[in-house]
Chain A
Protein backbone atom coordinates (compact mmCIF):
# COMPACT_ATOMS: atom_id res chain seq x y z
CA UNK A 1 0.00 0.00 0.00
CA UNK A 2 2.69 2.48 1.02
CA UNK A 3 4.69 2.11 -2.16
CA UNK A 4 1.81 3.68 -4.07
CA UNK A 5 1.84 6.86 -2.01
CA UNK A 6 4.66 8.46 -3.90
CA UNK A 7 5.25 12.09 -4.83
CA UNK A 8 5.25 11.20 -8.51
CA UNK A 9 2.01 10.67 -10.41
CA UNK A 10 0.78 7.12 -10.42
CA UNK A 11 0.56 7.14 -14.22
CA UNK A 12 2.95 4.24 -14.66
CA UNK A 13 1.19 1.84 -12.32
CA UNK A 14 -0.82 -1.00 -13.76
CA UNK A 15 -3.92 0.08 -11.84
CA UNK A 16 -6.34 2.69 -13.10
CA UNK A 17 -7.97 2.83 -16.49
CA UNK A 18 -7.86 5.14 -19.46
CA UNK A 19 -10.73 7.52 -20.14
CA UNK A 20 -11.14 9.11 -23.54
CA UNK A 21 -13.39 11.86 -24.79
CA UNK A 22 -13.45 11.70 -28.59
CA UNK A 23 -15.00 14.69 -30.33
CA UNK A 24 -17.63 14.93 -27.62
CA UNK A 25 -20.22 17.57 -28.30
CA UNK A 26 -23.24 18.55 -26.23
CA UNK A 27 -25.82 21.06 -27.38
CA UNK A 28 -28.52 22.56 -25.20
CA UNK A 29 -30.96 24.04 -27.68
CA UNK A 30 -28.87 26.12 -30.03
CA UNK A 31 -25.93 26.65 -27.66
CA UNK A 32 -23.02 24.23 -27.48
CA UNK A 33 -22.12 23.49 -23.87
CA UNK A 34 -19.29 21.31 -25.11
CA UNK A 35 -17.86 21.99 -28.54
CA UNK A 36 -15.93 18.90 -29.61
CA UNK A 37 -13.94 17.80 -26.57
CA UNK A 38 -10.88 15.59 -27.18
CA UNK A 39 -9.27 14.61 -23.93
CA UNK A 40 -7.53 11.52 -22.60
CA UNK A 41 -7.07 10.65 -18.94
CA UNK A 42 -4.09 8.39 -18.35
CA UNK A 43 -4.36 5.39 -16.04
CA UNK A 44 -4.22 6.44 -12.40
CA UNK A 45 -3.90 10.16 -13.04
CA UNK A 46 -5.87 12.93 -11.42
CA UNK A 47 -6.89 15.37 -14.12
CA UNK A 48 -8.43 18.66 -13.05
CA UNK A 49 -10.97 20.10 -15.46
CA UNK A 50 -10.74 23.80 -14.73
CA UNK A 51 -12.86 26.64 -16.00
CA UNK A 52 -15.36 29.36 -15.13
CA UNK A 53 -19.01 28.48 -14.53
CA UNK A 54 -20.78 27.65 -17.76
CA UNK A 55 -17.58 26.56 -19.54
CA UNK A 56 -18.84 22.99 -19.98
CA UNK A 57 -16.77 21.25 -17.33
CA UNK A 58 -19.74 19.90 -15.41
CA UNK A 59 -21.34 18.88 -18.70
CA UNK A 60 -18.26 16.81 -19.52
CA UNK A 61 -18.42 15.13 -16.11
CA UNK A 62 -22.13 14.38 -16.41
CA UNK A 63 -21.60 12.89 -19.87
CA UNK A 64 -18.87 10.65 -18.47
CA UNK A 65 -21.12 9.61 -15.57
CA UNK A 66 -23.92 8.84 -18.02
CA UNK A 67 -26.45 11.34 -16.63
CA UNK A 68 -26.64 13.05 -20.02
CA UNK A 69 -26.12 11.82 -23.57
CA UNK A 70 -23.67 13.58 -25.89
CA UNK A 71 -25.07 15.17 -29.05
CA UNK A 72 -22.06 13.77 -30.93
CA UNK A 73 -18.81 11.97 -30.21
CA UNK A 74 -17.81 9.03 -28.07
CA UNK A 75 -16.66 8.39 -24.52
CA UNK A 76 -14.39 5.43 -23.86
CA UNK A 77 -13.48 3.84 -20.55
CA UNK A 78 -10.62 1.33 -20.81
CA UNK A 79 -10.92 1.56 -24.57
CA UNK A 80 -14.57 0.47 -24.46
CA UNK A 81 -17.21 2.77 -25.87
CA UNK A 82 -19.64 3.54 -23.03
CA UNK A 83 -21.59 6.28 -24.80
CA UNK A 84 -24.82 4.24 -24.86
CA UNK A 85 -24.44 2.61 -21.45
CA UNK A 86 -26.81 3.89 -18.71
CA UNK A 87 -25.40 5.62 -15.61
CA UNK A 88 -26.16 2.67 -13.35
CA UNK A 89 -23.87 0.39 -15.38
CA UNK A 90 -21.03 2.83 -16.11
CA UNK A 91 -18.84 1.74 -13.20
CA UNK A 92 -17.96 5.30 -12.17
CA UNK A 93 -17.89 6.62 -8.62
CA UNK A 94 -19.08 10.18 -8.20
CA UNK A 95 -18.73 12.72 -5.41
CA UNK A 96 -21.26 15.52 -5.78
CA UNK A 97 -21.00 19.15 -4.71
CA UNK A 98 -23.00 18.63 -1.51
CA UNK A 99 -26.10 17.04 0.01
CA UNK A 100 -25.80 13.82 -1.91
CA UNK A 101 -25.83 11.43 1.05
CA UNK A 102 -29.04 9.48 1.49
CA UNK A 103 -30.60 11.24 4.50
CA UNK A 104 -32.38 8.21 5.94
CA UNK A 105 -29.30 6.00 5.95
CA UNK A 106 -26.32 6.01 8.30
CA UNK A 107 -22.82 6.76 7.02
CA UNK A 108 -22.05 3.03 6.84
CA UNK A 109 -25.31 2.29 5.02
CA UNK A 110 -24.54 5.06 2.55
CA UNK A 111 -21.11 3.61 1.87
CA UNK A 112 -22.55 0.11 1.50
CA UNK A 113 -25.37 1.20 -0.84
CA UNK A 114 -23.51 0.53 -4.08
CA UNK A 115 -22.52 -2.93 -2.84
CA UNK A 116 -26.13 -3.64 -1.90
CA UNK A 117 -27.16 -2.72 -5.46
CA UNK A 118 -24.54 -5.23 -6.65
CA UNK A 119 -26.03 -7.89 -4.36
CA UNK A 120 -22.95 -8.24 -2.19
CA UNK A 121 -23.63 -10.13 1.05
CA UNK A 122 -24.31 -8.22 4.28
CA UNK A 123 -21.12 -9.29 6.08
CA UNK A 124 -18.89 -8.32 3.17
CA UNK A 125 -20.78 -5.03 2.77
CA UNK A 126 -20.25 -3.95 6.35
CA UNK A 127 -16.60 -5.06 6.27
CA UNK A 128 -15.98 -2.96 3.16
CA UNK A 129 -17.93 0.01 4.55
CA UNK A 130 -15.81 -0.03 7.72
CA UNK A 131 -12.64 -0.30 5.68
CA UNK A 132 -13.51 2.72 3.54
CA UNK A 133 -14.73 4.85 6.43
CA UNK A 134 -11.39 4.05 8.04
CA UNK A 135 -9.63 5.15 4.84
CA UNK A 136 -11.29 8.57 4.94
CA UNK A 137 -10.67 8.95 8.66
CA UNK A 138 -14.22 8.34 9.87
CA UNK A 139 -13.80 4.85 11.29
CA UNK A 140 -15.89 5.64 14.36
CA UNK A 141 -18.75 7.47 12.63
CA UNK A 142 -20.34 4.60 10.71
CA UNK A 143 -23.53 4.80 12.77
CA UNK A 144 -24.06 8.53 12.33
CA UNK A 145 -26.73 9.99 10.09
CA UNK A 146 -25.70 12.63 7.52
CA UNK A 147 -27.46 15.44 9.41
CA UNK A 148 -25.37 14.62 12.47
CA UNK A 149 -22.14 15.24 10.56
CA UNK A 150 -20.33 18.38 9.40
CA UNK A 151 -20.11 19.32 5.73
CA UNK A 152 -16.53 18.08 5.54
CA UNK A 153 -17.40 14.76 7.16
CA UNK A 154 -20.35 14.33 4.80
CA UNK A 155 -18.03 14.78 1.82
CA UNK A 156 -15.63 12.21 3.26
CA UNK A 157 -18.49 9.74 3.51
CA UNK A 158 -19.47 10.62 -0.06
CA UNK A 159 -15.90 9.87 -1.15
CA UNK A 160 -15.91 6.55 0.70
CA UNK A 161 -19.27 5.71 -0.86
CA UNK A 162 -17.98 6.46 -4.36
CA UNK A 163 -14.92 4.28 -3.83
CA UNK A 164 -16.71 1.38 -2.11
CA UNK A 165 -17.70 -0.30 -5.36
CA UNK A 166 -14.11 -0.06 -6.67
CA UNK A 167 -15.15 1.95 -9.72
CA UNK A 168 -12.81 2.29 -12.68
CA UNK A 169 -13.10 6.08 -12.66
CA UNK A 170 -13.61 8.55 -9.81
CA UNK A 171 -15.60 11.67 -10.65
CA UNK A 172 -15.39 14.73 -8.42
CA UNK A 173 -17.91 17.49 -9.12
CA UNK A 174 -16.62 20.52 -7.20
CA UNK A 175 -16.63 18.44 -4.01
CA UNK A 176 -15.06 21.21 -1.94
CA UNK A 177 -17.04 24.24 -3.08
CA UNK A 178 -19.60 24.08 -0.26
CA UNK A 179 -16.99 23.87 2.51
CA UNK A 180 -15.22 26.61 4.43
CA UNK A 181 -11.63 27.49 3.59
CA UNK A 182 -9.74 25.49 6.20
CA UNK A 183 -11.74 22.29 5.74
CA UNK A 184 -11.46 22.75 2.00
CA UNK A 185 -7.66 22.58 2.00
CA UNK A 186 -7.69 19.67 4.45
CA UNK A 187 -10.13 17.63 2.42
CA UNK A 188 -8.40 18.54 -0.83
CA UNK A 189 -5.18 16.97 0.42
CA UNK A 190 -7.14 14.05 1.84
CA UNK A 191 -8.76 13.39 -1.54
CA UNK A 192 -5.34 13.45 -3.21
CA UNK A 193 -3.90 11.04 -0.63
CA UNK A 194 -6.78 8.59 -1.06
CA UNK A 195 -6.68 8.91 -4.84
CA UNK A 196 -2.99 8.07 -4.95
CA UNK A 197 -3.46 5.21 -2.49
CA UNK A 198 -6.21 3.71 -4.65
CA UNK A 199 -4.40 4.52 -7.89
CA UNK A 200 -7.72 5.40 -9.47
CA UNK A 201 -8.12 7.49 -12.61
CA UNK A 202 -9.88 10.67 -11.49
CA UNK A 203 -11.61 13.58 -13.16
CA UNK A 204 -11.78 16.55 -10.78
CA UNK A 205 -14.06 19.36 -11.92
CA UNK A 206 -13.41 22.73 -10.31
CA UNK A 207 -13.58 26.45 -10.95
CA UNK A 208 -10.87 27.12 -8.35
CA UNK A 209 -7.47 27.38 -10.01
CA UNK A 210 -5.50 27.02 -6.77
CA UNK A 211 -7.37 23.79 -6.03
CA UNK A 212 -6.62 22.48 -9.52
CA UNK A 213 -2.92 23.39 -9.40
CA UNK A 214 -2.54 21.90 -5.92
CA UNK A 215 -3.90 18.39 -6.47
CA UNK A 216 -3.79 17.57 -10.16
CA UNK A 217 -1.27 15.58 -12.17
CA UNK A 218 -2.48 17.54 -15.18
CA UNK A 219 -4.82 20.48 -15.55
CA UNK A 220 -7.19 20.90 -18.49
CA UNK A 221 -8.47 24.46 -18.86
CA UNK A 222 -11.85 24.71 -20.51
CA UNK A 223 -13.47 27.86 -21.83
CA UNK A 224 -16.79 28.20 -23.65
CA UNK A 225 -16.93 24.48 -24.39
CA UNK A 226 -13.40 24.29 -25.83
CA UNK A 227 -10.10 23.13 -24.36
CA UNK A 228 -7.55 25.91 -24.04
CA UNK A 229 -4.64 23.97 -22.60
CA UNK A 230 -3.85 20.58 -21.08
CA UNK A 231 -0.59 20.29 -19.18
CA UNK A 232 1.04 19.76 -15.81
CA UNK A 233 0.17 22.51 -13.27
CA UNK A 234 3.65 24.07 -13.42
CA UNK A 235 3.45 24.55 -17.20
CA UNK A 236 -0.12 25.84 -17.14
CA UNK A 237 0.91 28.40 -14.56
CA UNK A 238 4.28 29.43 -16.01
CA UNK A 239 3.52 29.12 -19.72
CA UNK A 240 -0.20 29.62 -20.32
CA UNK A 241 -1.07 28.70 -23.90
CA UNK A 242 -3.68 31.43 -24.35
CA UNK A 243 -4.58 34.80 -22.92
CA UNK A 244 -7.61 33.21 -21.31
CA UNK A 245 -5.53 30.64 -19.43
CA UNK A 246 -3.11 33.35 -18.34
CA UNK A 247 -5.96 35.40 -16.90
CA UNK A 248 -7.87 32.51 -15.40
CA UNK A 249 -4.99 30.73 -13.74
CA UNK A 250 -3.88 33.53 -11.45
CA UNK A 251 -3.00 37.09 -12.47
CA UNK A 252 -0.78 37.77 -15.46
CA UNK A 253 0.95 41.05 -16.27
CA UNK A 254 1.54 41.77 -19.94
CA UNK A 255 4.36 44.33 -20.28
CA UNK A 256 6.31 45.84 -23.20
CA UNK A 257 10.04 45.15 -22.81
CA UNK A 258 13.23 46.48 -24.42
CA UNK A 259 16.63 45.01 -23.45
CA UNK A 260 15.22 43.32 -20.35
CA UNK A 261 13.64 46.54 -19.04
CA UNK A 262 10.01 47.59 -18.93
CA UNK A 263 9.70 50.43 -21.43
CA UNK A 264 6.50 51.99 -22.82
CA UNK A 265 6.37 51.04 -26.50
CA UNK A 266 9.00 48.33 -26.06
CA UNK A 267 9.60 46.06 -29.04
CA UNK A 268 8.43 42.79 -27.50
CA UNK A 269 5.98 41.80 -24.81
CA UNK A 270 6.58 39.66 -21.75
CA UNK A 271 3.95 37.86 -19.69
CA UNK A 272 4.84 37.66 -16.05
CA UNK A 273 3.12 36.57 -12.87
CA UNK A 274 2.84 39.05 -9.97
CA UNK A 275 5.84 37.42 -8.26
CA UNK A 276 7.94 38.12 -11.38
CA UNK A 277 7.99 41.87 -10.73
CA UNK A 278 9.86 43.87 -8.10
CA UNK A 279 9.55 47.45 -6.86
CA UNK A 280 12.03 50.07 -5.73
CA UNK A 281 14.83 49.30 -8.20
CA UNK A 282 16.68 52.57 -9.08
CA UNK A 283 16.45 51.96 -12.84
CA UNK A 284 12.79 50.78 -12.79
CA UNK A 285 9.78 52.32 -14.48
CA UNK A 286 8.14 55.02 -12.32
CA UNK A 287 4.82 53.84 -10.85
CA UNK A 288 2.49 54.70 -8.00
CA UNK A 289 0.65 52.36 -5.64
CA UNK A 290 -3.09 52.12 -6.32
CA UNK A 291 -4.01 49.43 -3.80
CA UNK A 292 -2.13 47.32 -1.29
CA UNK A 293 -3.60 44.07 0.01
CA UNK A 294 -2.01 42.11 2.83
CA UNK A 295 -2.44 38.39 2.02
CA UNK A 296 -0.34 36.92 4.84
CA UNK A 297 3.01 35.72 3.49
CA UNK A 298 2.78 38.12 0.56
CA UNK A 299 1.41 41.61 0.03
CA UNK A 300 -0.21 42.34 -3.31
CA UNK A 301 0.28 45.81 -4.79
CA UNK A 302 -1.60 47.13 -7.79
CA UNK A 303 0.48 49.85 -9.46
CA UNK A 304 -0.36 52.40 -12.12
CA UNK A 305 2.37 53.26 -14.59
CA UNK A 306 2.89 54.38 -18.17
CA UNK A 307 2.38 50.78 -19.31
CA UNK A 308 -0.93 50.44 -17.49
CA UNK A 309 -1.89 48.67 -14.28
CA UNK A 310 0.52 46.07 -12.95
CA UNK A 311 0.04 43.55 -10.14
CA UNK A 312 3.04 42.77 -7.96
CA UNK A 313 3.32 40.22 -5.11
CA UNK A 314 6.00 41.02 -2.56
CA UNK A 315 7.09 39.08 0.49
CA UNK A 316 5.35 40.80 3.38
CA UNK A 317 7.78 42.92 5.41
CA UNK A 318 7.84 46.36 7.01
CA UNK A 319 8.68 49.27 4.71
CA UNK A 320 6.71 48.27 1.61
CA UNK A 321 5.36 51.30 -0.27
CA UNK A 322 1.88 52.24 0.93
CA UNK A 323 -1.17 53.36 -1.04
CA UNK A 324 -0.41 56.49 -3.08
CA UNK A 325 3.36 56.14 -2.67
CA UNK A 326 5.62 56.71 -5.67
CA UNK A 327 7.97 53.86 -6.53
CA UNK A 328 9.44 52.04 -9.50
CA UNK A 329 8.66 48.67 -11.03
CA UNK A 330 10.95 46.27 -12.88
CA UNK A 331 11.21 42.65 -13.99
CA UNK A 332 12.71 40.48 -11.26
CA UNK A 333 16.32 40.03 -12.43
CA UNK A 334 16.65 36.66 -10.65
Chain B
Protein backbone atom coordinates (compact mmCIF):
# COMPACT_ATOMS: atom_id res chain seq x y z
CA UNK B 1 0.00 0.00 0.00
CA UNK B 2 2.64 2.54 1.04
CA UNK B 3 4.81 1.34 -1.84
CA UNK B 4 2.00 2.01 -4.23
CA UNK B 5 1.37 5.38 -2.68
CA UNK B 6 5.04 6.29 -3.03
CA UNK B 7 4.95 5.36 -6.72
CA UNK B 8 1.88 7.46 -7.14
CA UNK B 9 3.65 10.42 -5.56
CA UNK B 10 6.66 9.98 -7.86
CA UNK B 11 4.54 9.79 -11.01
CA UNK B 12 2.45 12.74 -9.88
CA UNK B 13 5.59 14.74 -9.10
CA UNK B 14 7.14 14.04 -12.51
CA UNK B 15 3.93 14.97 -14.29
CA UNK B 16 3.66 18.15 -12.22
CA UNK B 17 7.22 19.14 -13.14
CA UNK B 18 6.59 18.36 -16.81
CA UNK B 19 3.50 20.57 -16.89
CA UNK B 20 4.42 23.25 -14.38
CA UNK B 21 7.99 24.14 -15.34
CA UNK B 22 7.06 25.50 -18.79
CA UNK B 23 4.14 27.37 -17.26
CA UNK B 24 6.24 28.92 -14.52
CA UNK B 25 8.94 29.83 -17.05
CA UNK B 26 6.33 31.37 -19.33
CA UNK B 27 4.88 33.28 -16.38
CA UNK B 28 8.27 34.62 -15.42
CA UNK B 29 9.06 35.58 -19.02
CA UNK B 30 5.70 37.33 -19.50
CA UNK B 31 6.27 39.52 -16.47
CA UNK B 32 9.73 40.74 -17.56
CA UNK B 33 10.08 44.35 -18.59
CA UNK B 34 12.33 45.19 -21.60
CA UNK B 35 14.39 47.50 -19.40
CA UNK B 36 14.74 44.89 -16.65
CA UNK B 37 12.58 44.20 -13.63
CA UNK B 38 9.02 42.84 -13.60
CA UNK B 39 5.59 44.30 -14.38
CA UNK B 40 2.18 43.61 -15.90
CA UNK B 41 2.69 45.66 -19.07
CA UNK B 42 2.42 42.59 -21.33
CA UNK B 43 -0.92 41.63 -19.84
CA UNK B 44 -2.27 45.15 -20.18
CA UNK B 45 -1.66 44.98 -23.94
CA UNK B 46 -5.02 43.25 -24.26
CA UNK B 47 -6.77 46.53 -23.38
CA UNK B 48 -4.25 48.94 -24.87
CA UNK B 49 -3.81 47.25 -28.25
CA UNK B 50 -6.99 47.69 -30.35
CA UNK B 51 -6.10 44.83 -32.71
CA UNK B 52 -5.70 42.40 -29.85
CA UNK B 53 -8.90 43.55 -28.19
CA UNK B 54 -10.85 43.27 -31.44
CA UNK B 55 -9.52 39.76 -32.04
CA UNK B 56 -10.53 38.70 -28.54
CA UNK B 57 -14.06 39.97 -29.18
CA UNK B 58 -14.22 38.09 -32.49
CA UNK B 59 -13.09 34.87 -30.83
CA UNK B 60 -15.46 35.25 -27.89
CA UNK B 61 -18.29 35.85 -30.36
CA UNK B 62 -17.33 32.66 -32.22
CA UNK B 63 -17.04 30.78 -28.92
CA UNK B 64 -20.51 31.78 -27.73
CA UNK B 65 -22.12 31.05 -31.11
CA UNK B 66 -20.33 27.71 -31.34
CA UNK B 67 -21.24 26.68 -27.81
CA UNK B 68 -24.91 27.55 -28.28
CA UNK B 69 -25.15 25.76 -31.63
CA UNK B 70 -23.31 22.69 -30.36
CA UNK B 71 -25.52 22.38 -27.30
CA UNK B 72 -28.73 22.93 -29.25
CA UNK B 73 -27.57 20.18 -31.58
CA UNK B 74 -26.18 17.76 -29.03
CA UNK B 75 -28.53 17.82 -26.04
CA UNK B 76 -31.81 16.89 -27.75
CA UNK B 77 -29.95 14.34 -29.90
CA UNK B 78 -28.29 12.64 -26.95
CA UNK B 79 -31.55 12.56 -24.98
CA UNK B 80 -33.48 11.26 -27.97
CA UNK B 81 -30.94 8.52 -28.65
CA UNK B 82 -30.85 7.41 -25.03
CA UNK B 83 -34.63 7.27 -24.76
CA UNK B 84 -35.65 5.97 -28.15
CA UNK B 85 -32.71 4.47 -30.01
CA UNK B 86 -30.21 3.07 -27.51
CA UNK B 87 -29.00 0.74 -30.25
CA UNK B 88 -27.77 3.71 -32.29
CA UNK B 89 -25.68 5.08 -29.41
CA UNK B 90 -22.49 3.22 -30.36
CA UNK B 91 -22.78 4.32 -33.98
CA UNK B 92 -23.33 7.94 -32.98
CA UNK B 93 -20.38 7.82 -30.61
CA UNK B 94 -18.14 6.66 -33.44
CA UNK B 95 -19.52 9.36 -35.72
CA UNK B 96 -18.77 12.07 -33.17
CA UNK B 97 -15.15 10.96 -32.93
CA UNK B 98 -14.55 11.59 -36.66
CA UNK B 99 -13.63 15.27 -36.24
CA UNK B 100 -10.82 14.22 -33.90
CA UNK B 101 -9.57 11.57 -36.30
CA UNK B 102 -9.49 13.85 -39.34
CA UNK B 103 -6.42 16.15 -39.12
CA UNK B 104 -7.27 19.88 -39.10
CA UNK B 105 -5.19 20.43 -42.23
CA UNK B 106 -7.28 17.94 -44.17
CA UNK B 107 -10.40 19.52 -42.79
CA UNK B 108 -9.21 22.99 -43.79
CA UNK B 109 -8.51 21.74 -47.31
CA UNK B 110 -12.01 20.31 -47.44
CA UNK B 111 -13.53 23.52 -46.19
CA UNK B 112 -11.56 25.57 -48.72
CA UNK B 113 -12.95 23.35 -51.47
CA UNK B 114 -16.51 23.79 -50.17
CA UNK B 115 -16.09 27.55 -49.94
CA UNK B 116 -14.69 27.76 -53.45
CA UNK B 117 -17.73 25.96 -54.81
CA UNK B 118 -20.29 27.91 -52.82
CA UNK B 119 -19.47 31.35 -54.11
CA UNK B 120 -23.00 32.61 -54.54
CA UNK B 121 -25.11 34.49 -51.96
CA UNK B 122 -25.84 33.96 -49.08
CA UNK B 123 -22.69 31.86 -48.70
CA UNK B 124 -20.40 34.55 -50.04
CA UNK B 125 -21.28 36.99 -47.26
CA UNK B 126 -21.28 34.23 -44.67
CA UNK B 127 -17.75 33.29 -45.64
CA UNK B 128 -16.56 36.87 -45.65
CA UNK B 129 -16.53 37.27 -41.88
CA UNK B 130 -14.62 35.11 -39.43
CA UNK B 131 -17.53 34.66 -37.03
CA UNK B 132 -20.03 33.36 -39.54
CA UNK B 133 -17.47 31.45 -41.59
CA UNK B 134 -15.61 29.64 -38.83
CA UNK B 135 -18.48 28.93 -36.43
CA UNK B 136 -20.02 26.03 -38.42
CA UNK B 137 -16.65 24.32 -38.64
CA UNK B 138 -15.83 24.89 -35.00
CA UNK B 139 -19.21 23.36 -34.21
CA UNK B 140 -18.00 20.23 -35.96
CA UNK B 141 -14.70 20.34 -34.05
CA UNK B 142 -16.47 20.80 -30.70
CA UNK B 143 -19.01 18.06 -31.37
CA UNK B 144 -16.99 15.13 -29.99
CA UNK B 145 -16.22 16.87 -26.69
CA UNK B 146 -19.70 18.26 -26.23
CA UNK B 147 -21.45 15.00 -27.09
CA UNK B 148 -19.25 13.03 -24.73
CA UNK B 149 -19.68 15.48 -21.86
CA UNK B 150 -23.46 15.72 -22.30
CA UNK B 151 -23.85 11.97 -22.73
CA UNK B 152 -21.85 11.34 -19.55
CA UNK B 153 -24.09 13.80 -17.75
CA UNK B 154 -27.16 11.95 -18.99
CA UNK B 155 -25.68 8.61 -17.94
CA UNK B 156 -25.38 9.90 -14.38
CA UNK B 157 -29.09 10.68 -13.96
CA UNK B 158 -32.11 8.33 -14.12
CA UNK B 159 -33.10 9.96 -17.43
CA UNK B 160 -35.99 7.73 -18.45
CA UNK B 161 -37.69 7.88 -15.07
CA UNK B 162 -37.30 11.67 -14.83
CA UNK B 163 -38.70 12.22 -18.31
CA UNK B 164 -41.60 9.84 -17.70
CA UNK B 165 -42.34 11.47 -14.36
CA UNK B 166 -42.41 14.87 -16.07
CA UNK B 167 -44.68 13.59 -18.84
CA UNK B 168 -46.95 11.94 -16.29
CA UNK B 169 -47.32 15.32 -14.58
CA UNK B 170 -48.40 16.96 -17.81
CA UNK B 171 -45.12 18.24 -19.28
CA UNK B 172 -44.65 18.16 -23.04
CA UNK B 173 -41.30 17.05 -24.51
CA UNK B 174 -39.97 20.64 -24.53
CA UNK B 175 -40.87 21.31 -20.90
CA UNK B 176 -39.47 17.97 -19.79
CA UNK B 177 -36.18 18.79 -21.52
CA UNK B 178 -35.88 22.40 -20.37
CA UNK B 179 -37.24 22.19 -16.85
CA UNK B 180 -36.17 18.72 -15.75
CA UNK B 181 -33.35 17.27 -17.86
CA UNK B 182 -31.33 20.43 -18.54
CA UNK B 183 -31.04 21.53 -14.89
CA UNK B 184 -30.09 17.99 -13.90
CA UNK B 185 -27.15 17.92 -16.32
CA UNK B 186 -26.21 21.58 -15.81
CA UNK B 187 -22.59 20.90 -14.91
CA UNK B 188 -22.09 18.70 -17.98
CA UNK B 189 -23.61 21.45 -20.15
CA UNK B 190 -21.37 24.12 -18.62
CA UNK B 191 -18.42 21.78 -19.00
CA UNK B 192 -18.98 21.34 -22.70
CA UNK B 193 -19.55 25.07 -23.13
CA UNK B 194 -16.17 25.83 -21.55
CA UNK B 195 -14.44 23.06 -23.51
CA UNK B 196 -15.81 24.76 -26.60
CA UNK B 197 -14.43 28.08 -25.37
CA UNK B 198 -11.01 26.49 -24.83
CA UNK B 199 -11.14 24.99 -28.29
CA UNK B 200 -12.02 28.27 -29.99
CA UNK B 201 -9.36 30.18 -28.04
CA UNK B 202 -6.73 27.66 -29.19
CA UNK B 203 -7.64 26.85 -32.79
CA UNK B 204 -5.13 28.30 -35.29
CA UNK B 205 -4.68 25.76 -38.06
CA UNK B 206 -8.04 26.07 -39.81
CA UNK B 207 -8.31 29.82 -39.25
CA UNK B 208 -4.82 30.37 -40.58
CA UNK B 209 -5.11 28.18 -43.66
CA UNK B 210 -8.44 29.73 -44.60
CA UNK B 211 -6.94 33.20 -44.02
CA UNK B 212 -9.25 34.29 -41.22
CA UNK B 213 -6.40 36.00 -39.46
CA UNK B 214 -8.42 38.18 -37.10
CA UNK B 215 -9.17 35.54 -34.45
CA UNK B 216 -7.51 35.80 -31.06
CA UNK B 217 -5.14 32.79 -31.24
CA UNK B 218 -3.94 33.76 -34.71
CA UNK B 219 -3.33 37.37 -33.68
CA UNK B 220 -1.53 36.28 -30.51
CA UNK B 221 0.89 34.23 -32.59
CA UNK B 222 1.40 37.04 -35.07
CA UNK B 223 2.07 39.47 -32.22
CA UNK B 224 4.62 37.00 -30.86
CA UNK B 225 6.83 37.61 -33.89
CA UNK B 226 7.50 41.20 -32.78
CA UNK B 227 6.62 41.12 -29.07
CA UNK B 228 7.14 37.68 -27.60
CA UNK B 229 6.29 38.82 -24.07
CA UNK B 230 2.76 39.88 -25.01
CA UNK B 231 2.12 36.66 -26.90
CA UNK B 232 3.24 34.51 -23.99
CA UNK B 233 1.31 36.61 -21.49
CA UNK B 234 -1.94 36.31 -23.42
CA UNK B 235 -1.52 32.59 -24.06
CA UNK B 236 -0.99 32.08 -20.38
CA UNK B 237 -3.96 34.27 -19.51
CA UNK B 238 -6.34 32.36 -21.80
CA UNK B 239 -5.03 29.05 -20.44
CA UNK B 240 -5.58 30.14 -16.85
CA UNK B 241 -9.01 31.53 -17.71
CA UNK B 242 -10.30 28.28 -19.24
CA UNK B 243 -8.65 26.24 -16.52
CA UNK B 244 -10.33 28.28 -13.78
CA UNK B 245 -13.69 27.99 -15.57
CA UNK B 246 -13.38 24.22 -15.86
CA UNK B 247 -12.33 23.90 -12.22
CA UNK B 248 -15.32 26.00 -11.22
CA UNK B 249 -17.63 23.73 -13.21
CA UNK B 250 -16.30 20.54 -11.68
CA UNK B 251 -16.49 22.09 -8.22
CA UNK B 252 -20.09 23.26 -8.66
CA UNK B 253 -20.99 19.99 -10.37
CA UNK B 254 -19.44 17.87 -7.66
CA UNK B 255 -21.29 19.72 -4.93
CA UNK B 256 -24.62 19.81 -6.72
CA UNK B 257 -25.04 16.30 -8.01
CA UNK B 258 -23.83 14.42 -4.95
CA UNK B 259 -26.44 12.00 -3.72
CA UNK B 260 -28.90 12.43 -6.55
CA UNK B 261 -28.24 9.11 -8.22
Show the binding face of A for B, using Cβ within 8 Å: 65-67, 86-90, 92-94, 96-97, 99-105, 113-114, 117-118, 146-148, 161-162, 165
Contacts and interface: CB of A to CB of B under 8 A. Distances in A.
A92 B162 contact: no
B183 interface: yes
Given A88-B170, A89-B170, A147-B260, A117 B175 contact: yes
A205 to B, nearest CB: 14
A165 B184 contact: no
A165 B169 contact: yes
Contacts of B158: 99-100
Interface in B158-182: 158, 161-162, 164-172, 175, 179-180
A89 B164 CA distance: 13
B22 interface: no
Given A65-B168, A117-B171, 5 more contacts: A87-B168, A96-B161, A96-B164, A96-B165, A102-B166
Nearest to A96: B161
Nearest to B186: A104
B164 A67 contact: yes
A157 to B, nearest CB: 11
Interface residues of B, number: 25
Contacts of B186: 104
Q: Which of B158, B186, B257 has the most CB of A within 10 A?
A: B158
Dominant SS among interface residues on chain B: helix
A165 B170 contact: yes
B259 A92 contact: no
Q: Which of A101, A102, A148 has the most CB of B within 10 A?
A: A102
A117 B170 CA distance: 6
A103 B257 contact: yes
A199 to B, nearest CB: 20
A120 to B, nearest CB: 11
Contacts of B162: 100, 102
12 contacts: A66-B167, A88-B171, A89-B170, A96-B161, A100-B158, A102-B165, A102-B183, A113-B171, A117-B169, A118-B170, A147-B260, A161-B169
A113 B261 contact: no
B180 A102 contact: yes
Contacts of B170: 88-89, 114, 117-118, 165
Q: Which of A92, A94, A118 has the most CB of B within 10 A?
A: A94
Q: Which of A65, A67, A87 has the most CB of B within 10 A?
A: A87
A103 B184 contact: yes
A222 B260 CA distance: 34
Interface string B175-200: 10001100110100000000000000
A97 B161 CA distance: 9
Contacts of A117: 169-171, 175
B223 interface: no
Nearest to B260: A103
A66 B161 CA distance: 14
B157 interface: yes
Contacts of A94: 164-165, 168
Given A100-B162, A102-B162, A147-B259, A87 B167 contact: yes
Nearest to B170: A117
A104 B165 contact: no
B6 interface: no
Contacts of A147: 258-260
Interface string B218-261: 00000000000000000000000000000000000000111111
Nearest to A118: B170
A117 B257 CA distance: 25
Contact of A100 (B165, B183, B184): B165
A155 to B, nearest CB: 13
A102 B184 CA distance: 8
A90 B171 CA distance: 11
A88 B168 CA distance: 5
A92 B168 contact: yes
Nearest to A105: B183
Nearest to A101: B165
A113 B169 contact: yes
A165 B171 CA distance: 12
B260 A113 contact: no
Contacts of A113: 166, 169, 171, 179
Nearest to B172: A88
A114 B169 contact: yes
Give me the 5 closest cross-chain CB pairs, A-B, nearest first: A147-B259, A114-B169, A117-B170, A103-B260, A104-B183
Contacts of B260: 103, 146-147
Nearest to B158: A99
A103 B183 CA distance: 8
Nearest to B164: A67
Contacts of B166: 102, 113
A266 B175 CA distance: 67
